Amino acid sequence: MQKRLYNKEPLNKLLVVNKPMYISSNLYLNKIKRKYKNKKAGFSGTLDPFACGCLIVAFGQYTKLFNYLKKTPKTYRAVLWLGATSYSEDIENIISIKEEKLLHKEGIIKEIEKLKGEIEYLPPKYCAKKINGKRAYELARAGLEVELKKEVMNIIDIKLLSYSHPFISFEATVSEGSYIRSLAQILAKNLNVVGTLSYLERLNEGEFFFENEKDLNPLEYLNLEVNNYTGSKEWLDNGKKISLEYLQKKEEGDYIILFEDFFSIIQIKNNEVSYLLNKVNI
């Protein structure tokens, strides 16, 4: 008899895994699915194949919670390899390697300090952004022209960890949607050198850190206020529309209504209450 790879029973689970280098986030998620024997799972915050570190994974109903989790800002540890040039601005698609000039540590620190705050950048061509329904990296790998618009990222904190020529190691805490490959290119340009990322590790996503894949209570990580509900539990249990009069907080916004065995996420807008997520089992 063939061994069953996946269980049929539903699984609600939230955890952080430590993605290794040289595997895509999707392929690693498949490994995690097989490990916990459940097919219904997803992740938040794609890591490039060459990158490693913190990856938030959810199973079952918890996959619907990604938009409400406290997962920003994000902190990365990176290494810029001076003299290396790459199509993808990382170690996977190296074009050439040359000797680069020696830099002064004080000058590197000065340029790194200048990066704090909001900076305009161009996302790397090898990224997951969509252009006319296609991922940018798919177009780039096919040799097609990739045109991306400039965006803004917020560098909350950044510091030099070490400089051992030709490698500059730094740590950066950034807003969601930032690209460390683009940040590294800005730093290289400001230092008047060429370089590419040779290492990238995500240390955390907001309040999420890798701690040996321990089970996380989603209620501790939701970026929402609890709104006390005085109406009938059965109404939420059955997904019926509820009235504003049964809620303690009546200001517009998104809230949690919490019971012992399940919770719902609601939205108050124009004096109306609607469900964003109803009856997520605890």
Q: 252-268: b or e for each residue (b if 16 or more CB lie within 10 Å)?
A: eebbbbeeeebbbbbeb
Find out whether 170 and 78 touch, Cβ atoms under 8 Å.
yes
CA–CA distance, 134 with 128 (Å, rounded to integer): 9
CA–CA distance, 264 with 246 (Å, rounded to integer): 14
Question: What kind and span of H or E run contains 30?
Answer: helix 25-35
Task: Give CA 75 to chain center in angstroms.
Answer: 10
Residue whose pair of structure tokens reads 């890798």 in the numeric block? 210
Tokens coding 203: 């240390």
Residue whose pair of structure tokens reads 């063939």 in the numeric block? 2
220 φ/ψ sector (left φ>0, alpha ψ -120 to 50, else beta): alpha
Taking alpha carbons only, the member of 173, 171, 203, 166 closest to residue 188 is: 166
Taking alpha carbons only, the member of 93, 113, 115, 111 closest to residue 178 is: 115
End-to-end CA distance of the chain: 35
Q: Is 48 a catalytic residue?
A: yes
Angle at alpha carbon of residue 206, lines to 64 and 178, rounded to 5°: 90
> What residues act catalytically?
48
